[in-house]
Amino acid sequence: MRERLTRLFKAFTYRDFSLLWAGAFTSSCGTWMQTVAQSWLLLTITGKAAYLAWAEVLQQAPFLALSLVGGVLADRMDRRRILLLSQVVQLTSAFLLAGLVYAHRVEVWMILVLAFVVGVATSFGGPAYQALVPTLVDKEDVPNAVALNSIQFNLARVVGPVLDHNPLMVRDQFQRVYDGQQGIGLSPQDGQLADVALALDAQCQMIHVLGG
């Protein structure tokens, strides 16, 4: 049994791969948390589901259009630098969104532009990450590393949205029950700001791994 588990997770015996896997998982969770918070924010502001579709299109279209270019750059340039730059761009976008929400200056077009910027960054960071993974393990362990990478991506798709809760709103509800009053009346943006803050922390963890 132990030998089977060791063989199943053999790629984790490589330190660099383990660090990249953990950082990518944290970053992916943060990205999904930000995506959910972004969609909820659009729905809160506009009340129209169509804007959610536009945000998704603007975030995914660059990947479809530019991922081939990103793959070429990943083959000809330093993949670590490309991935690091991609994470910095996504982190900056999350900071801008958090600041706009905190200042109550966020508008629909700003959210859509930031979604597009994140999509562009992903279209270059994704191929760089995929090309970097096989270089961190021995040739015979590449299939195992690829499989574990797929697990990381799909696991983040589940864990990220689950973690995307509104802690400030939950605290407000408990406060209402405890006091038997109407509570302090936090706005939906306060909860979404907390979600974006968690996403920021996830992006920072990925940048720390790449810079280490």
Which pLDDT value is given to residue 171? 41
Q: Which of 60-64, 65-69, 207-211 has the lowest mean pLDDT?
A: 207-211
pTM of the model: 0.74
From CA 210, how far away is CA 204, in angstroms rounded?
A: 10
Q: What is the mean pLDDT of the chain?
A: 79
Class of domain 13-211: mainly alpha
Section 145-174 average pLDDT: 73
CA 26 to each of CA 13, 99, 137, 138, 211: distance values in angstroms, whole numbers, following the listed order: 19, 22, 21, 24, 15
Section 191-209 average pLDDT: 51
Q: Is the pLDDT of residue 197 over 70?
A: no
Q: Is 180 helix (H, G, I), strand (E, B) or coil?
A: coil
Burial of 212 (0-12, 13-18, 19+ CB in 10 A): exposed
Section 68-81 average pLDDT: 91
Cβ atoms 192, 165 nearer than 8 A: no
From CA 181, how far away is CA 142, in angstroms rounded?
A: 59
Which pLDDT value is given to residue 167? 47
Closest CA to 151 of 46, 35, 2, 8: 8
Closest CA to 167 of 55, 37, 49, 28: 37
Structure token digits, residue 81: 């630098």
Q: Is the pLDDT of residue 70 over 80?
A: yes
| Residue 120 confidence class, pLDDT cut points 50, 70, 90 | very high
Which pLDDT value is given to residue 94? 87
Count how many Cα atoms sit within 13 Å of the Cα of residue 146 in the half-sphere of its side chain.
9
